[in-house]
Structure 1
């Protein structure tokens, strides 16, 4: 697939090209996407990148991983589901090999989510006779069910819009991976995903394949140049390894989480736990119990995790009586 006849033109002439990543590692593909955004000039050329990943949950740049997914269960789903944070905003999505990802790179002035989604919509109509619509959130839907989520990043001169396309994803694993297990009231400034009813294209056309959908979109996008990317390495993309390390790091995935506070009610009052940059920085209780400090002190300064959450719940279960008590984090523990 190196050359495809131009079938469709934008309002003004621009050079359009396509790259298809053969890599299925989420961190490497995110690094490639970011490398292209940083190093290519899209002022007079557009690029469409196709990519797929082994099972993973991908949260938006400003989201909270502990609120967006079943973080404790991810390693146990199938052969393990990775957790990644992308560089764009928007909500959380689940990827597997039956989910096709598309990134449309353009100049800032040509950025248009709707135009990109219309390319996909026309391809599904022309090749599969599937009717889709773009809703007010600029998601692609079949009737009331979403088949594609969407997010973007806008720079000074360049921009990209990326979206998922559910073809035959494992909806059982998707549901399990995106389940919120926190049984607490939460105060946070993090972006929160909007839960929607979803659908695979295979529910409409049982024999549809990722390759078939990709071919249909290629015909509609009508690029004369297609590049198959077999290796994403320093020889072809200098500096991509460092970008990948950033995406895989705990400091990016977890410690960039906006500050949030968990509140847990019990019969005589309420307990809170504040987490900032992934660290427990403050705890408090609205009733007095003996040795409150001893009950909580061991959690202060710890990295937030399922284990810390379980310990917090144990403290809540043991609380009784009613007066005001509070402790605050020792700054040296941060």
Structure 2
């Protein structure tokens, strides 16, 4: 039985342990490979810990999934239909930043500290130092605070800052399936207007392409050893409800339609029917739901006369299928005699 489970069974608040009197470092290695479970554990630790005198590094891996930032648009960041067909999970995390692809060739790291001790660069320097000591790999920190080798990115980074607690998490591309990554992150969406955070495309490289004999396990050991520096402890953790009370509820929220899709910042998709005279059809999506289809025109066209063509799309959750339906309606409408006559007025 783990120490944290014992505390729970004794009805002691985990905060009591985390508020230790002395400075201490611990590394958690998660047994779970489910993205929603690992994000839930991350969220639990963040919201139930006092890191005033205690630092924690969580190391975790996931089965194939795409993870978007808190303020991103999933349809704009990835190919949702492709993910569904290949059984790749889609998750939205609590931190900001861009979209990443995970599989078992990717190592994820979460550095938990107090807000006062939060320092991305220190964490990245530790990773860089560990990779050089163990494998003689020279990995630099870019101006965007990513880990790079030359012009190629090997790690992305994001963070969440609270009033007293913070975490910085990052990916590390060890031996990721790059072909699957590219397909997953290749969105078919176009002509979108939004304030959602957009990912910055980068060229990537796996660490195994630089040194063939390393793997995720050896990289994990190297980073854990560097972090602990012989003074802390490493612990493998199970991700069960009795270890982390309320974990199931957190996971359910992260898995929900409301969190993954309906939290999407508002966006508009425009389709051009005619450039002269101007005639556009605009799909307005608010909180993941089609709020309105607008016909924007100039000249003599009465927009209200044709608005019922798209009325069945309104009040429906946006999806790739709905977008296909919208494009089909636009195409059919564009070719009608009424539109052709109107354009010639």
Q: Are 1:22 and 2:36 matched, yes or no?
A: no
Cα deviation code 1:45-79 (max 9, x no counterpart): 100000000000000001010100001110223xx
Determine the C-alpha separation between the residues in 1 that align with 2:80 and 2:273. Answer: 25
Partner SS for 1:104: strand
Cα deviation code 1:247-296 (max 9, x no counterpart): 00000000011111111123443211000011100112235489623310
Given that 1:286 and 1:323 are in contact with CA atoms closer than 8 Å, whether structure 2 keeps it comes out as no
Unaligned runs of 5+ in 2: 1-21
Cα deviation code 1:168-189 (max 9, x no counterpart): 000000000000101x311111
Aligned equivalent of 1:243, options 250, 258, 270: 250
Given that 2:156 and 2:172 are in contact with CA atoms closer than 8 Å, whether structure 1 keeps it comes out as yes
Q: CA deviation at 1:323?
A: 5.8
Cα deviation code 1:181-219 (max 9, x no counterpart): 01x311111111001111100110112100000111112
Q: Are 1:203 and 2:209 matched, yes or no?
A: yes
What does 1:1-334 correspond to in 2, within 5 Å?
Answer: 14-77=23-86, 80-182=87-189, 184-222=190-228, 223-229=231-237, 231-268=238-275, 269-287=279-297, 288=301, 292-318=306-332, 319=334, 320-321=339-340
Determine the C-alpha separation between the residues in 2 that align with 1:253 and 1:315. Answer: 27
Given that 2:293 and 2:307 are in contact with CA atoms closer than 8 Å, whether structure 1 keeps it comes out as no
Q: CA deviation at 1:154?
A: 0.4
Determine the C-alpha separation between the residues in 2 that align with 1:49 and 1:72. Answer: 31
Q: Which residue of 2 aligns with 1:328?
A: none
Normalization by structure 1: what TM-score? 0.89
Given that 1:105 and 1:159 are in contact with CA atoms closer than 8 Å, whether structure 2 keeps it comes out as yes
Determine the C-alpha separation between the residues in 2 that align with 1:20 and 1:201. Answer: 20
Deviating more after overlay: 23-32 vs 234-243 = 234-243
Determine the C-alpha separation between the residues in 1 that align with 2:164 and 2:140. Answer: 30
Partner SS for 2:80: coil
Partner SS for 1:109: coil
Determine the C-alpha separation between the residues in 2 that align with 1:208 and 1:245. Answer: 36
Normalization by structure 2: what TM-score? 0.86
Deviating more after overlay: 269-278 vs 286-295 = 286-295
Q: Which residue of 2 aligns with 1:3?
A: none
Cα deviation code 1:88-109 (max 9, x no counterpart): 0000000001100000000101
**How many residues in Structure 1 have an aligned counterpart in Structure 2?**
308
Determine the C-alpha separation between the residues in 2 that align with 1:60 and 1:322. Answer: 46
Deviating more after overlay: 134-143 vs 309-318 = 309-318
Unaligned runs of 5+ in 1: 1-12, 325-334
Determine the C-alpha separation between the residues in 2 that align with 1:63 and 1:25. Answer: 21
Partner SS for 2:290: strand
Of Structure 1 and Structure 2, the greater helix share is in 2
Question: Which of the two has higher C-alpha Rg?
Answer: 2
Deviating more after overlay: 199-208 vs 112-121 = 199-208
